[in-house]
Structure 1
């Protein structure tokens, strides 16, 4: 997983993609993390959960977080988030 994550919803989508790509069941992650399955689903939707829950779920999925300097988003990242730029717009 090499996604640049800037928003909670992006984190949730990345975790959900990883879970589905690896064919991990939500019930198994919940059991291994000691958290309710609903907590995982809320995380995947980008909703608020506790940091402790986040780290428990990441650990259960054998994932970690790496911090790096934010920097400016690339044109591709802006376009992906906001759509195509209309040159004729005034």
Structure 2
């Protein structure tokens, strides 16, 4: 998983994708992390949870966080974030 995460919803989608790709059940993650399933689901929706809960869930999923300088987003990242298509100019 090499996602560049800049928004809570992007983190949530990355966590959910990792869970599904790893065929991990929410109940198993909850049990291993000591957190309620609802906390995992809130994280996956990009909602606020505590940092301690985030780290417990990541640990339960055998994941970690790597920090790096933000830098400028690529044109592709901007287009994905704002849903722009090359044809959008023609729609007006």
- TM-score w.r.t. the length of structure 1 is 0.94
Give the Cα separation in 1 of the matches to 2:20 and 2:32. 17
CA shift for structure 1 position 87: 4.3
Q: Which residue of 2 aligns with 1:7?
A: 7
Q: Which residue of 1 aligns with 2:22?
A: 22
Q: Which residue of 2 aligns with 1:48?
A: 48
Structure 1: state its 5+ residue gaps.
none
Give aligned pairs, total. 90
Q: Which residue of 2 aligns with 1:61?
A: 61
Give the Cα separation in 1 of the matches to 2:66 and 2:19. 18
Greater per-residue helix proportion: 2
Displaced runs of 4+ in structure 1, greater than 2 A?
85-90
Tell me the C-alpha RMSD between the 2 structures: 1.5
Please identify, of 76-85 and 34-43, the stretch whose mean Cα deviation from structure 2 is larger. 76-85
